[in-house]
Structures are given as C-alpha cells and as structure tokens.
Amino acid sequence: MKIFYITALLMLTIFSAGLKAQSNQSNDFVDTVKMVSEGTVAIAIDAPIKHSSPRVLGTGFVVTNGHFAITNYHVVSEDLDPIIVEHYVVLSGVGSVVKKIRAEVVQIDPKHDLALLKLSSPLKPLELGSKELLLPGTEIALTGFPIGAVLGLYPATHRGYISAITPDAIPASNSDQLNLVMMKRLQNVSLIYQLDAIAYPGNSGSPLYNPETGEVIGVINKVLVKDAKESALASPTGISYAIPVKFVIKLIGKYGEES
C-alpha cells in the first residue's frame, strides 16, 4: 500500500509540473503576441474627400529605428490620385483609439512582393531574425488584420508551422493554368515558406515570427484559394505562403543604417 501511495504522489507531482510548464509556455506566448502586436500596423489609403476614414488595404510591421515599415508590394501598388489629397498611412493601436501616421513608399521589390515605407513619426519596431532559412516543422505565428478595420483595429494571431520550403510559384492544377507570367517565374524562382497556418487576404504583409522570441522570420504574402476569391474568408484552405526575412533585410539596405 505504501508503494502505491508513493507511486501516486510521484505521478501527481509529474502531472502538476507538466501543467505548470504548459501554463508558463502559454503566458510566454501571450507576452510575445502583445509585443508583436505593438509593432504591427494596418496599411491604408487616407483620402478624406473619398472616404470618411482610411481604407485599409493590408498589414505591415515596423522595423529598424521605428521610422520604417514593411508590407507587401501589392498592398501599396495602387496609384494615388494626384488631383485630390490622398496618401498612404499606417494605423497603430487597438479598437477606435488609433494613431494615423503618414507613410511614403521609399523602396520596392516587386519580385519578392515587398515594399519599404518611411513613417512621418516613429513607432515601436520588431526585431528581425536570421537570414538563414528555417526547416520544415518549425513552429511559427502570424499577427495581422485579416478583415481590415471595419469595426475598428483588432489584431488577430494564428499559429502553425512551416510545412515546406518551396519555389515562389503558386501550383497549377493543370497545364492550362500555367500562364506566361508563371512560366517566367518558374525559370527564375526564389525559395519561400509554405505554411500550415490559416491566413486571409487582409493578412498580406503580416509578420511571420518565432512564437518564443517574437523575431520576424518572414512576411505573409499570399494564401492558396481553392474556389472563388470569396471562399478565402468563408472556407480557408489553411495553406499560406511567406517571403523569408532575408529579402526584407536586403530591401532595407541603407535605410537600416539610420537605426
């Protein structure tokens, strides 16, 4: 009987220790998400004549000394109307209490779908990780604004892992879908991350990061859609893609010296 009680007590101690470790890990991730959210912004066009509030286009994150932000090139590729007052802005904050900071596109990398924006006033930057590609199976997280800011600015976070390192070309289901643009990309491809993680169109430009440290390891730039574009919201595939951070570091270039 004594052996039974000792065994039961040992099992209870191990179980309690496991729960405590799991709780600490959860608390650590909560802190990481909070830190990353502070450096994550919504990218929008501010045109008071056209819209009562800025029109959110996607997500971005602050880098270097806080005076710059990274997003996808396709998020800020829209031509601004020179006739009216219209410019890009970043929105930072939560709910309806947000800062609106003017942003200027100063550097682009269309091939890797990246753009660097200069901010009129600084925000809290995120740390960039190593240039080395991470292996499939690595756990990741992403934070952004999947449905824009219709009801206010509320960052959403998703977790997953890197499922593959793959050429930067969305797979075609048959040869009829291999258009000229895709064929050219297949001839000169870059390797990017394929993720087992849910992302939505509004997540374009979101930071992909290490869940333990918050270091940015990539930039979300597209999701695999199985039917019409609308289905990306109603029934996401759970397959998304991210540009490795080494291309971000290269794009920042001389602007990083201002840190």
- Report pTM: 0.81
Asked whether residue 145 falls in the same domain as residue 245, the answer is: yes
- Whether 33 is covered by a domain: the verdict is no
Higher pLDDT, 79 or 11: 79
**pLDDT exceeds cutoff 70 at 248:** yes
Asked whether residue 67 falls in the same domain as residue 158, the answer is: no
Mean pLDDT of the chain: 83
CA triplet 36, 242, 252: central angle to 5 degrees? 70
Looking at the structure of the chain, the number of domains it has is: 2
- Give the CATH number of the domain where residue 81 resides: 2.40.10.10
State pLDDT tens for residues 4-18.
Answer: 455 555 555 554 545
Asked whether residue 241 falls in the same domain as residue 163, the answer is: yes
Look at residue 223 in the predicted model and tell me its pLDDT.
80
Beta pairing partners, 17 = none
Give the end of a domain, one of 63, 94, 126. Answer: 126
Residue the block writes with tokens 């998304």: 240
State pLDDT tens for residues 137-191.
Answer: 999 999 999 876 666 789 999 999 999 999 986 544 444 545 565 556 566 788 9
- Whether 227 is covered by a domain: the verdict is yes
Q: What mean pLDDT is predicted for residues 70-93? A: 91
The Cα-based distances of 232 to 58, 79, 103, 106, 166 in angstroms read 15, 26, 28, 31, 21
CA triplet 189, 195, 197: central angle to 5 degrees? 150
Q: What mean pLDDT is predicted for residues 203-221? A: 97
Beta pairing partners, 58 = 43
Which letter, b or e, does each residue of 124-139 get, where b requires 16 or more Cβ atoms within 10 Å of its Cβ? Answer: ebbebbeeebbeeeee
Asked whether residue 169 falls in the same domain as residue 117, the answer is: no
CB of 120 within 8 A of CB of 99?
A: no
* Amino acid, single-letter form, for residue 33: V
Residue the block writes with tokens 């970043």: 90
**pLDDT exceeds cutoff 70 at 132:** yes
CB of 196 within 8 A of CB of 184?
A: no
Give the end of a domain, one of 93, 126, 159. Answer: 126
- Whether 27 is covered by a domain: the verdict is no
The backbone torsions φ and ψ at residue 165, rounded to the nearest 5 degrees and listed phi first, read -105, 120
Asked whether residue 173 falls in the same domain as residue 235, the answer is: yes
CA neighbor of 137 nearest in space, from 162, 174, 159: 162
Q: What mean pLDDT is predicted for residues 241-254? A: 96
State pLDDT tens for residues 17-53.
Answer: 454 545 556 679 999 999 999 999 999 999 988 877 8
Q: What mean pLDDT is predicted for residues 116-137? A: 97
The Cα-based distances of 157 to 50, 142, 207, 208 in angstroms read 31, 6, 10, 10
Q: How far is residue 245's CA from residue 73's CA, in Å, rounded to a whole number?
A: 15
Q: How far is residue 258's CA from residue 65's CA, in Å, rounded to a whole number?
A: 7
- Whether 15 is covered by a domain: the verdict is no
- Whether 5 is covered by a domain: the verdict is no
- Whether 14 is covered by a domain: the verdict is no
DSSP E strand stretches across the chain = 40-46, 55-63, 68-71, 87-94, 97-109, 114-119, 139-144, 156-167, 191-196, 207-209, 216-223, 239-244
Enclosing domain of residue 246 = 139-254
Asked whether residue 237 falls in the same domain as residue 214, the answer is: yes
